Amino acid sequence: MNRFVEKLGIDDVTFIAIEECSELQKELTKALRGKLRREAFIEEMADVTIAMSWIKDAFDITDEELQKKLGEKLAKAEIKFIEGNEK
């Protein structure tokens, strides 16, 4: 386990992840309203990416598990998109 994650503990890492997702959500909402703050947007994307790596570590999720799920989800999303455009 990452030393930082180990020191903070699973609850604090989870709180940080929730907060970072919320901050990205705020920037996404601003972008939808035509008020994109590009630097802040990229910063929150980076924060969420970091937080997800800590969550992965804290909850002992392996690269293989995540890659398998990403592959499944991407394939499903592509099928839905293709089917949606055929109607």
DSSP 8-state secondary structure symbol assigned to residue 82: H
- Cβ closest to Mg ion, residue 26 vs residue 56: 26
- Work out whether 57 is an interface residue with Mg ion (CB under 5 A): no
Q: According to CB under 5 A, which one of 10, 28, 47, 56 is a site residue for Mg ion?
A: 47
Q: Annotate 17-78 with three-state secondary structure.
A: HHHHHHHHHHHHHHHHCCCCCHHHHHHHHHHHHHHHHHHHHHCCCCHHHHHHHHHHHHHHHH
- Cβ closest to Mg ion, residue 16 vs residue 58: 16
The Cα-based distances of 15 to 19, 44, 47 in angstroms read 6, 15, 13
Q: According to CB under 5 A, which one of 8, 14, 23, 45 is a site residue for Mg ion?
A: 23
Number of residues forming the site for Mg ion (CB under 5 A): 4
* Range in contact with Mg ion (rule: CB under 5 A) among 3-11, 21-29, 33-41, 60-68: 21-29
Give the footprint of Mg ion on this chain (CB under 5 A). 20, 23, 44, 47
